[in-house]
A = this chain, B = another copy of it.
Amino acid sequence: MLEYADIVIIGGSAAGLSAAITARRHNPDKSIAMVRRDEQTPIPCGIPYIYGTVGSVEKNILPTAPLDAHNVELIIAEVTSINRENKSIVTDKGELHYDKLILGTGSKAIMPPFPGIDLKGVVGIDKNNGQLEMIKGYVEAAKDVVIIGGGFIGIEFADEINKLEGKTATVVEMQSHCLSLAYDDEFCKVMEDHVSTRGVNLKTGVKVTALEGTDSVEAVALENGERIKADLVIMGIGARPITHLAAECGLEIGPTKSIAVDKTQRTADPHIFAAGDCAEKVSFFDGSPCGLKLASIATLEGRIAAANLYGVVRANSGTLGVWSTAVGGLALATAGLTEREAKQKGYNVVAATAAGPNRHPGCMPGMTPTTVKLVFEKKRGTLLGGQVMGDTTAGEIVNIISACIMGNMDAQDIACFQVGTHPALTASPVAYHLVTAAELAIKDM
């Protein structure tokens, strides 16, 4: 095994991969090594689709070609410790010295202490192919699948499994609505109706009390006394950061139990950076601790960390939270704060919603009713967040909203948005959703 690399990255998922590529772009002459446990790493956001649309674990692999193309040495090894004094990491294949170290150790599915959590057929969605293959075996054999947690992963898993012949999929969500971390109720309801119509069973506003069975799981018991038959239970209630390597070498662990970093993604050790699910995050809006874990955030932090290794050029402005979900042609997307979240944070809020076709005239092929909701701070008019509902373009419209928030735009700026439109591609310029929502909000400011 290699004994030294200028830049060593632990972890090969979203944060690690984007850190490796970025490190090379900014450091053409440094040696770079990525150390990860598995030969192959799944594409994290693609995981639900393994069980339906994509069809196999092998078709959802993060390509290693970018590592070769960027001259990054890939070392398959299990890291057992970090020796900060020596500036080395110890692995099951030997010791590797570094000048700069990036931790992209990721996260692990939360397995709550329900009675029966250790039964066979109760699985967490961990980002390694062994686990995902095991889940695949379970899915193929199962008839009644219960997904605990109605976030985007839960909803996407449920829909993929529901599409398979002869299986039932039930989602149990303790909040009053699925997806409520990402969307205001009126958006959640549309997606709930949509997946229900497609055949997914939803149980919302109810807690799980136990997983029942003898050897294998047989049912999920709810606090309302209901008992849902289940031969497979998938936990989709979130993930906890993997931080033992960092903690054991004395790096600080922060309020969300993640590795503490500054705006440059650097830990208290000037030679060690952290990025992705394992790293602490703060809100873009008020700097409060933020527990969001998304591959897109991980890649951003990987790019920030890697660009800053030899001289700071980038700062993390705090996590906005931009993501989307799609089920059978209906896409929902969110950026920044929902109205509910903004109010919880104490903002004086004005929200406005614009709905209409995403083609002009509306008889153009592919027209899909589209809705955009924008949330503004009332006094200054600053954009705090936005939600989009429509077809595939919703996934990019939300990135327009992200750009507007990053650019600190206010409602007047958005009312004056220089939009590009086309009959076959977008809404009419007279009724472009983003602009209309801003105009409607201005009336209430």
A-side interface residues toward B, CB under 8 Å? Answer: 14, 17-18, 21-22, 25-26, 43, 45-46, 49, 53-54, 59-62, 66, 284, 295-300, 303-304, 307, 313-314, 316-317, 319-320, 322-326, 331, 333-335, 360-361, 363-366, 392-400, 402-409, 412-413, 415-426, 428-432, 435, 439-440, 442-443
Contact = CB atoms under 8 A, between A and B. Distances in A.
B395 A299 contact: no
A418 B45 contact: no
B364 A416 contact: no
B14 A430 contact: yes
Given A361-B61, A396-B425, A422-B45, A303 B416 contact: yes
Which 10 residue pairs across A and B have the least CB separation, nearest first?
A407-B407, A395-B425, A322-B420, A403-B403, A296-B429, A396-B396, A299-B429, A326-B424, A320-B418, A324-B422
Contacts of A360: 43, 45-46
Oligomer copy total: 2
A62 B396 contact: no
Nearest to A440: B25
A407 B425 CA distance: 24
A392 B299 contact: no
Contacts of A335: 418, 420
A416 B331 contact: no
Nearest to A318: B418
A176 B403 CA distance: 35
Contacts of A364: 46, 49, 53-54
A110 B114 CA distance: 75
B426 A396 contact: yes
Contacts of A363: 54, 59
Given A45-B429, A316-B416, A324-B425, 9 more contacts: A296-B420, A300-B416, A320-B418, A331-B424, A393-B395, A393-B396, A396-B426, A398-B420, A403-B404
B416 A45 contact: no
A304 B398 contact: no
A191 to B, nearest CB: 13
